[in-house]
Amino acid sequence: MIEVQNLHKSFGKVVAVDDVSLTARDGSITGLLGPNGAGKTTTLRTLYGLQKPDQGNALIDGIDVTKDLVSAAKNMGIFPDSIGLYDRLTTKEHLEFYGQMHGFSGKQLDEAINRTQQYFDIEELLDRKCKGFSHGQQMKVALSRALIHSPKNLILDEPTNGLDVMSIRMLRELLRRLRDEGKCILFSSHVMQEVTALCDHIYIMADGKVIAEGTPDELCQLAGKDTLEDAFVSLIGSEEGIAL
Amino acid sequence: MNLIKAILKKEFRDSLRDRRAIMVAILPALLAPILMAFMFHTIAKTKVSTDELTIQVIGKENAPDLISYLEQNELTFEDYKGEPKKDIQDETVKLILEIPDNYAENFNDFKTATVYIHADRSMTNSRSAVNRLDRLISTYGSQIGSMRLIIRGVNPSIARAVAVKDRDYSTDASRAGQILAGLQMFILMAAFFGSAPVAIDTTAGERERKSLEPLLVHPLSSFQIMTGKWLTVVSFGLLASIIAVISTAIAFDFISLKSLGLDPKLTITMQLSMILLLIPSAMFAASLQMLTSLFAKTFKEAQSYLGLVALLPMAPVMATMIGGAKAADWMYMVPILGQQQLLTTVLRGEGIDWMNLITASGVTVLVSLAIVTVLTRLLRSERVVYGG
């Protein structure tokens, strides 16, 4: 379970996150939808401990990340804002390294790599150095990195950016499967279709605030519209920054 | 421990595959001592050549007496035919002594007999030879003059109202000292050159590639990450230092500097002592460079900062060369300066004072570890991860 409680974060005079609370439950996919600059990434960065909240808490399975980041990180799979692969290392070496970072070694490590490479069918990339990978290929390696230790909680920052249609379908199926296995999944997106197609629960963010939340049906009712698309536009108050 | 090992392995793998950076790191350590050795060798050789100077001469038969006097003073002569002006400007000949045909006539008539020295006095390498010839001929001239006065019953001192005597205190030892200082500088700098590319790559580089954020979300402490990175950087600095020591030893095996009163043959014991005392300086170089790069906003900025940091070992050496700073106990308490003092004693063949080694190494290691502590604290700060 992932919880954010009354989170505040400012950069100088700019208020990035203003009193945000959200909960992502186990066995469910929670979406964070909002235009660029709404505070989604800042909220997620607080969850994986790289940005200290001015106020409020971020909890992973009840562990406060500001107090015990290492324990919290054990149960987290992160796909951060930056892909950041090492040009001179192969895909396999990446998976090996990050597997080791989660304490795997020997046979356990081999099994983890073998299991993970099947998610996005990256076997042909395994022995290639990452320099010159297409954006989509890089994304697949980075997503595999987040999944190497079969984490209980998964946090994905804009995971479909630049993926081709086939890969997006693979990612969706994978996320649904993981949800059915009881994992807790929180992802952010500014692409409405992603959120609509996947999410059990949606938080809509704008200007650093959560302006609405609920299941897709609840959001439609709340806005008094028939389709989610219309509901979003009406809730955010503009179409700016949202991709349909 | 396993986590640190995994970081170390990844950093090594990544750095070792960056061939160009490795070249930049190792080449100075390999080549600088060879260049130094070659330079000293040349200095030593020019000095040797002044001892047995060969001079081109025109009209040798006109003054057999003068020539035999000069030959007694270790000059040798070769007959010369050609155009003095042209050959000297072309630098095919450094120095020509011309004795004109009327020399003997003037000499015998007690008139001033003139000889000509053809040379380019602006050329440093011929200046000492010209001065030497000049001085010898003047001495010969005044000796002859004195004898002529004595024959006439006059005291020769009357004709010499003032005499100058030169007392040159420049010694081989002082010259050797400067050479040693230069050597120390290169050996100390090797660690800085060796670790700089890796220091940048694991800090500013990691951020610029955006791989720092993904790394930091894994369940390991900043201390573990920093230790792994730091050990990698130290290893490269140490590797460069070892290469510099061995390369120096090999280079000086091939040349002789005996004429400079210096014989820097490095025995295995000396090489090992040097490596031992260089370990802390490699640690210090790594810490300082990583700290600097972590504060730099970009890879490029880090590179220019580290260019300045690499000048650090030059400061104490310059102080010794210019200010003639004398060795003092407090020097062992300053990182790099302490190592420089220790290197001096080893290179002079005086061996290592263990007390001084422990002081210098202890202080340097402590300062380095203190910087690592600061690095560990900074690593997860927002400023470092996302830029300020």
Q: What is the predicted ipTM?
A: 0.90
- For residue B202, the chain A residues in CB contact (below 8 A) are none
Q: At what angle do helices B172-200 and B337-347 cross, to 10 degrees?
A: 130
Cα of A68 to nearest chain B Cα, Å: 10
The CATH code of the domain at B52-159 is 3.40.1710.10
Lowest mean pLDDT among A36-45, A235-244, B78-87, B313-322: A235-244
Q: Does B377 touch chain A (CB under 8 A)?
A: no
pLDDT value for A243: 63
Q: pLDDT higher for B220 or B177?
A: B220
Interface residue of A82, A135, A152, A153 to substitute, partner B, most B CBs within 10 Å: A82
B152 touching A (Cβ < 8 Å): no
Domains (ranges, CATH) in chain A? Answer: 1-37+47-75+151-244 (3.40.50.300), 85-150 (no CATH)
Using 50, 70 and 90 to split pLDDT, how confident is the model at A239?
Answer: low
The alpha-carbon gap from A128 to the nearest alpha carbon of chain B, in Å, equals 14
Is residue A173 over pLDDT 80? yes
Please count the other Cβ atoms lying within 10 Å of the Cβ belonging to residue A13: 5
What pLDDT shows up at residue A10? 92
The answer to whether residue B13 neighbours chain A at the CB level (below 8 Å) is yes
Strand partners, A90: A129
Contact list in B for residue A71 (CB cut-off 8 A) is 219
**Exposed, middle or buried, A130 (CB in 10 Å: 0-12/13-18/19+)?**
buried
Residue B170 has pLDDT above 60, yes or no: no
Write the pLDDT tens digit of every residue in A68-77: 999 999 999 9
Using an 8 Å Cβ cutoff, are B192 and B237 in contact?
Answer: yes
Task: State which residue of chain A sits closest to B205, comparing Cα positions.
Answer: A86
DSSP H or E stretch at residue A9: strand A2-11
pLDDT of residue B39: 78
pLDDT at residue A127 above 70? yes
Average pLDDT over residues A28-48: 91
Separation between Cα atoms, residue A24 and residue A27, nearest integer Å: 9
Model confidence at B164: pLDDT above 90? no
Separation CA A128–CA A133 (nearest Å): 9
The minimum CA-CA distance between B2 and chain A, rounded to whole Å, is: 8
Q: Which residue spans of chain B are classified as CATH 3.40.1710.10?
A: 52-159
- At B340, the pLDDT band (50, 70, 90 cuts) reads confident
Cα torsion A8, A10, A16, A21 to 10°: value is: 0
- Pairing, β A55-60 against β A28-33: unpaired
Q: Give mean pLDDT, residues A65-89.
A: 92
